[in-house]
């Protein structure tokens, strides 16, 4: 529901009028409460001191690259300062120095006191390296002392913290150095052992010699294989020759002999026939001899026509043939060569396999050595770096030990506050007065917007589409008017009374009458 401003003002006035009595009571009650609180409200005094944290000091350029100071960026500084200032150690020291802690206080009571001190202490980062420590207390002297002591304790604690920080850093780096030293020693030992165990592989290390050797062996193997094949071919040829051609030669020569004999016998037979009858025993004998020779020639021819069986002939005539003998000798020599070549090939294969194994072993040894060497190099580099860092940390620690790490100086010393600070009586009275005025208005506005009651003619006509004939204002009876006047008089009286009481309390509190 959107209400125009002029109508809203009128509606607010109407609601204030309708609820005038409860609102007047709330107005009076709030103001009275404000006045009462302002009377008992404790005065608080705040004392503060400003500390300058130097951005740089003379050591920076001198120790550049050698010593490292703690980071001092604005945010870090404020946060770090807050951690230090509100730490239990600082607060406890302050409480002890202010005499707030008693020996028989329980831990809970101590905690409460320390928390209370924390609540009263404030740290503000003013920028440009300035930190302001303020302390608020009902007693101005105690506020002053607390602010003064807080600055001292804070500076001292900060230095100590820096020292602890740099010592811790040094110890850490030192520990790391030792660890890397041990590690480096281990790696060196491993390298030594590995190199000792891989001397053979180292001899042919690199793998190139082994490969050349294998290649050479492979060349020999190829040559031997080639020779073996040739020898095998040769022996096959010799074998064929032994089984076929020698036999032929022997057969041909015997056939020729048979044929010469046959010719002799046939001439002898022809001579005998001239002299004797066919049945003469000599003719018959010669004829039978001729038939035998012809039979022998035919059998020789048949033998020659038969294919060579491959097997050496056992025929005495063949074996005793010089060609055969020559072939046999060559065959035996070739067989010997074959055997020799086979043995050489087997040996070369064995050597190749052996060379391969050796190469593998050498390669793995080389890899392991390279790996360990790499580790060694890395560890060595880190170790060297850590050694440098350790020296830097040592110098930083010494700087902090000499309190030269972070420059603190009190820019503005704490002072004894003369006027109270924070929320004062006058503020409370004014806030109460403002609240007592705003509350009824807020109530009226809220009610108008929230309760949804009909107050405006236009809204009914618009939303319900019903003609609104008019809005009848309240018709005052004389008694009501009288009552209203009395209410107004009471209101004026109460407001005037509250005003005077409020002003009086403010003045009296200001001059510290109470």
Partner 1 sequence: MSKIEKALRKAQRESQSLSLAPAQLLRPNGAGGTPDVPHDGGKAISFGSSATIPLMQQPEVMRPEERALSKVILSDVDESPALKAFRAIRTRIVQRVGTGGSVILVTALQPGGGATFTAVNLGAAIGLDANKTSLLVDCNFRYPSLQRFVSTNSGKGLSDYLSGKCNDVGAIICPTGIERLRIVPAGNQIDPGKEYFTGERMHQLIWNVRERYPDRSVILDCAPLRTADTQILLQLCDHVLIVVPYGRVTESQLRASLKLVDPNKLLGVVINDEPHVPRLDWRVLIKSMISGLFRGKR
Where along the sequence are the contacts to partner 1 (CB under 8 A)? 13-15, 17-18, 451-455, 457, 459-460, 463-464, 466-479, 481, 484-485, 488-489, 492-493
Instruction: Kindly state the smallest distance separating residue 461's Cβ from partner 1, in Å.
Output: 9
**Three-class SS string for 310-357?**
CCCCCCHHHHCCHHHHHHHHHHHHHHHHHHHHHHHHHHHHHHHHHHHH
Instruction: Kindly state the smallest distance separating residue 486's Cβ from partner 1, in Å.
Output: 9
How many other CB atoms are there within 10 angstroms of residue 442's CB atom?
Answer: 12
Q: Which is nearer to partner 1, 15 or 300 (CB)?
A: 15
Q: Which is nearer to partner 1, 61 or 467 (CB)?
A: 467
Instruction: Kindly state the smallest distance separating residue 442's Cβ from partner 1, in Å.
Output: 17
- How far is Cα 479 from Cα 238, in angstroms, rounded to an integer? 161
Which of these, 41, 63, 15, 115, lies nearest to 425 by C-alpha position? 41
Which of these, 358, 369, 364, 366, lies nearest to 210 by C-alpha position? 358
Instruction: Kindly state the smallest distance separating residue 40's Cβ from partner 1, in Å.
Output: 31
Helix 478-510 to helix 20-40 angle (10° resolution) is: 10
Q: Which is nearer to partner 1, 412 or 481 (CB)?
A: 481
- How far is Cα 7 from Cα 507, in angstroms, rounded to an integer? 41
Helices (H), 402-450: 425-450
Residues pairing with 44 in the sheet: 421
Instruction: Kindly state the smallest distance separating residue 507's Cβ from partner 1, in Å.
Output: 25
- How far is Cα 278 from Cα 284, in angstroms, rounded to an integer? 7
HSE-CB at 362 with a 13 A cutoff on CA atoms is: 19
Instruction: Kindly state the smallest distance separating residue 458's Cβ from partner 1, in Å.
Output: 11
Q: Which is nearer to partner 1, 370 or 488 (CB)?
A: 488
Instruction: Kindly state the smallest distance separating residue 21's Cβ from partner 1, in Å.
Output: 13
Q: Which is nearer to partner 1, 488 or 504 (CB)?
A: 488
**Three-class SS string for 21-89?**
HHHHHHHHHHHHHHHHHHHHCCCEEEEEEEEEEECCCCHHHHCCCCCCCCCCCHHHHHHHHHHHHCCHH
Instruction: Kindly state the smallest distance separating residue 13's Cβ from partner 1, in Å.
Output: 7
Q: Which is nearer to partner 1, 62 or 471 (CB)?
A: 471
Q: Which is nearer to partner 1, 261 or 455 (CB)?
A: 455
Instruction: Kindly state the smallest distance separating residue 469's Cβ from partner 1, in Å.
Output: 4
Residues pairing with 121 in the sheet: 135
Q: Which is nearer to partner 1, 14 or 220 (CB)?
A: 14
Could you give the dihedral angle defined by the CA atoms of residues 315, 320, 321 and 324, in that order, rounded to the nearest 10 degrees?
A: 80
Judge contact between 426 and 509, C-beta under 8 A: yes
Q: Which is nearer to partner 1, 11 or 147 (CB)?
A: 11
């Amino acid at each position: 529901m959107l209400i125009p401003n002029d109508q809203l003002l009128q509606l607010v006035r109407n609601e204030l009028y309708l609820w005038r009595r409860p609102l007047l009571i709330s107005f009076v009650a709030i103001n009275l409460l404000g006045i009462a609180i302002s009377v008992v409200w404790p005065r608080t005094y705040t004392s503060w001191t400003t500390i300058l944290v130097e951005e740089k000091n003379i050591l920076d350029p001198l120790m550049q690259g050698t010593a490292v100071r703690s980071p001092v960026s604005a945010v870090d500084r404020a946060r770090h300062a807050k951690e230090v200032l509100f730490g239990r150690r600082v607060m406890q020291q302050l409480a002890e120095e202010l005499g707030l802690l008693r020996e028989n206080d329980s831990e809970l009571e101590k905690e409460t006191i320390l928390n209370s001190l924390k609540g009263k202490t404030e740290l503000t980062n003013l920028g440009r390296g300035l930190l302001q420590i303020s302390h608020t207390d009902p007693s101005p002297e105690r506020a002053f002392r607390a602010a003064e002591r807080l600055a001292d304790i804070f500076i001292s604690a900060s230095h100590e913290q820096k020292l602890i920080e740099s010592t811790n850093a040094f110890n850490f780096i030192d520990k790391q150095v030792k660890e890397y030293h041990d590690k480096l020693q281990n790696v060196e030992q491993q390298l030594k052992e590995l190199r000792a165990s891989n001397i053979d592989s180292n001899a042919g290390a690199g793998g190139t010699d082994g490969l050349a050797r294998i290649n050479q062996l492979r060349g020999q193997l190829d040559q031997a294989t080639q020779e073996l094949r040739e020898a095998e071919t040769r022996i096959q040829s010799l074998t064929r020759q032994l089984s076929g051609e020698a036999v032929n030669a022997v057969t041909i020569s015997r056939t020729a002999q048979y044929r010469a004999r046959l010719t002799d016998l046939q001439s002898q037979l022809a001579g005998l026939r001239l002299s004797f009858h066919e049945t003469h025993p000599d003719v018959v004998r010669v004829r039978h001899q001729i038939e035998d020779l012809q039979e022998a020639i035919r059998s020789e021819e048949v033998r020659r026509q038969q294919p060579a069986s491959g097997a050496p002939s056992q025929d005495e005539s063949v074996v005793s043939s010089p060609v055969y003998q020559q072939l046999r000798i060559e065959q035996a020599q070739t067989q010997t060569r074959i055997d020799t070549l086979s043995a050489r090939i087997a040996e070369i294969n064995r050597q190749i396999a052996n060379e391969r194994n050796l190469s593998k072993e050498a390669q793995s040894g080389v890899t392991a050595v390279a790996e360990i060497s790499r580790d060694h190099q890395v560890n060595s580099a880190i170790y060297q770096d850590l050694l440098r860092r350790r020296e830097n940390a040592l110098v930083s620690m010494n700087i902090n030990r000499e309190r030269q790490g972070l420059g603190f100086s009190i820019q503005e010393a704490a002072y004894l506050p003369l006027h109270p600070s924070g929320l004062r009586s006058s503020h409370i009275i004014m806030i109460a007065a403002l609240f007592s005025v705003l509350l009824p208005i807020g109530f009226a506005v809220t009610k108008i917007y929230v309760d949804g009651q009909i107050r405006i003619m236009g809204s009914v006509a618009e939303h319900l589409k019903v003609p609104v004939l008019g809005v009848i204002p309240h018709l005052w009876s004389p008694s009501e008017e009288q009552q209203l006047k009395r209410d107004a008089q009471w209101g004026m009286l109460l407001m005037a009374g509250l005003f005077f009481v409020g002003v009086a309390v403010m003045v009296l509190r200001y001059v510290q009458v109470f």
